[in-house]
Amino acid sequence: MPITTVVFDAYGTLFDVAAAARIAAAEPGREAFAAKWPEIASLWRAKQLQYTWLRATSNTHCDFWQVTQDGLDYALEATGLASPELRERLLALYWQLSAFPEVPAMLDALKAAGYNTGILSNGSPEMLAGAVKSAGIGGALDTVLSVESIGIFKPHPTVYAMVDQHFSTTPEQVLFVSSNGWDAAYAARHGFQTVWVNRVGEPADRLPSAPQHMMQDLAGIPDLAAAL
Residues 174 and 195 grouped into a single domain: yes
Of the three residues 57, 75, 94, the one that is the final residue of a domain is 94
62 and 113 both lie in a single domain: no
The verdict on 191 and 106 lying in the same domain is yes
pLDDT at 130: 94
Q: What is the CATH number of the domain that holds 212?
A: 3.40.50.1000
State whether 106 and 87 are in the same domain.
Answer: no
Asked if 111 and 87 sit in the same domain, the reply is no
Give per-residue pLDDT as tens, 105-129. Answer: 999 999 999 999 999 999 999 999 9
Write down the pLDDT at residue 128.
Answer: 97
pLDDT over 90 at 207, yes or no: yes
Residue 161 has pLDDT above 90, yes or no: yes
User: Do 10 and 108 fall within a single domain?
Assistant: yes
Instruction: State the Cα–Cα distance between residues 74 and 129, nearest whole angstrom.
Output: 26
- The angle that helices 157-167 and 181-190 make with each other, rounded to 10 degrees, is 60
First to last CA, the chain: 8
Strands 174-178 and 5-8: parallel
Query: What are the tens digits of pLDDT across the range 138-155?
Result: 999 999 999 999 999 999
Q: Which domain holds residue 115?
A: 5-15+97-227
pLDDT value at 210 more than 90: yes
Annotated catalytic residue 9: yes
116 neighbors 3 (Cβ within 8 angstroms): no
pLDDT band at 159 (very low <50, low <70, confident <90, very high): very high
Boundary of a domain, candidates 71, 94, 117? 94
Give the CATH number, domain containing residue 46.
1.10.150.240
What average pLDDT does this structure show over 78-87? Answer: 97
**Of 9, 16, 63, 183, which one is the catalytic site residue?**
9
Number of domains in the chain: 2
Last residue of a domain, one of 36, 69, 94: 94
Torsion of CA 34, 38, 39, 45, to 10 degrees: 130
Residues 109 and 48 in one domain: no
* Distance (Å) of CA 112 to CA 71, 101, 106, 219: 38, 19, 10, 15
**Are residue 165 and residue 101 in the same domain, yes or no?**
yes
pLDDT (average), residues 209-226: 98
- Residue 152 and residue 182 in one domain: yes
Does residue 70 share a domain with residue 107?
A: no
Q: Is the pLDDT of residue 1 over 90?
A: no
pLDDT of residue 194: 98
52 and 149 in a common domain: no
Nearest alpha-carbon partner for 167 in 208, 128, 119 = 119
pLDDT, tens only, 32-62 = 999 999 999 999 999 999 999 999 999 999 9
> What per-residue confidence (pLDDT) applies to 158?
98
135 and 34 both lie in a single domain: no
